[in-house]
Amino acid sequence: MNIRKISLAHGAGGREMNELLEWLVFSRVEESISSLGGVGLHETDDGATIPLASGEHIVVSVDAYTVNPLVFPGGDIGKLAACGSINDVVMMGGKPLAVLDAIVAAEGLDIELLSRVYESFLEILRSEQVALLGGDFKVMPRGSLDTIIFSTTCIGVSKQPIVDSMLKPGDKIIVTGYLGDHGATILALQQGLSVEGEGLVSDVKPLTALLNVFERWGGSVHAARDPTRGGLAAVLNEWAKKTGTVIVVEEGEIPVRQQVRSYAELLGLDPLYLASEGVAVLGVDRESAEDVLVDIKRYGFHDARIVGEVREGGRYAGIVLLRTEVGGHRILEAPTGELVPRIC
């Protein structure tokens, strides 16, 4: 590592964060759970799994949320924390069962605001029938923290975990809805732009309905991820690098709302790098992809579509190609720099 100080880019979900984690964590920690048949740290998936004697797996995922602003069209930090933690377990093929939370609040935080965002958190747990087991609450002195940090650990169970490294050439890439809604909404608010009446709303929601699809087509779903920090570009680049493949996506098939595209272009960003909080990206066996897509739509994801495919890597292993609407190709690189700070 040739850096002396942490920057915002190191928490943005892109190249800088991956380099930091490789130096700080992965190079220093030996894998252990994989020897027992679980999914461990070095899989760099949305969570980890612990195998049970019954053949099932306990799925565990941990995350921290520090969005700015705390309340936004479509949700708030409490809803975001509940949905984000639940969705990470779902993307591992797990049924969420319980959550623990840890809240760090700033001295002087408005108590009504705290109550509002915590009730949003609880509303999602109730609606998804996920138990709150316990947690922790801390207060930082005035000036050392501006608002609130919300951390969660979600625990679930899976009969057949989905591990992204199972992605293989021939698989189709499916996205379950419009991309970039959350990122564009937060970005616009951070830039002081008005979103009222403009159709910009965060897409934050639980993805648990997809468990019905995974249960039916589990053997055909080889990879699953929610494209949060770094968006679709981050997910696909991680998959291509991890599996030594080339992923080709069709620009004309990727669903992005016009409002999101317009705001992203106004601010000089590609919407494929913006976060979604209610969308999944799936790698699905070619033979089953069309049938899986029908099932995904049947469970409420009406805007889902096939957007690309996985190919043999060869000399170009680890890259993502975007086929443009005019027929050309360009490399969709991994995100880098400070795209949208404090987005989730």
Task: Say whether the peptide bond before residue 51 is cis (omega within 30 degrees of 0).
Answer: no
Q: Specify the amino acid at residue 327.
A: G
pLDDT at 40: 81
Which of 213, 106, 215 lies closest to 158 in space, CA to CA?
215
- Backbone φ and ψ for 338, nearest 5 degrees, come out as -95, 85
Name the maximum alpha-carbon separation found in the chain: 58
Distance from chain centroid for Cα 334:
15
pTM above 0.85, yes or no: yes
Contact between 179 and 227 under an 8 Å Cβ cutoff? The reply is yes
pLDDT at 103: 97
Whole-angstrom distance, CA of residue 46 vs CA of residue 89 = 7
pLDDT at 340: 64
Walk me through the domains of the chain, giving residue ranges and CATH numbers.
41-158 (3.30.1330.10), 164-331 (3.90.650.10)
Whole-angstrom distance, CA of residue 114 vs CA of residue 116 = 5
pLDDT at 8: 79
| pLDDT 10s digits, 255-279 | 999 999 998 888 888 999 999 999 9
Which of 63, 80, 57, 91 lies closest to 210 in space, CA to CA?
91
Least-confidence region, from 93-97, 115-119, 180-184, 190-194: 190-194
pLDDT confidence tier of residue 7, bands split at 50, 70 and 90: confident
Q: Is the dihedral of CA 66, 70, 72, 78 positive or negative?
A: positive
Query: Does the structure show a pLDDT above 80 at 32?
Result: no
Computed on alpha carbons and rounded to an integer, the radius of gyration of the chain in Å comes to 19
Q: What is the mean pLDDT of residues 184-208?
A: 89
Q: What is the mean pLDDT of residues 15-43?
A: 81
What's the CA angle centered on 82, arms 80 and 85, to 5 degrees? 100
Which of 219, 232, 205 lies closest to 166 in space, CA to CA?
219
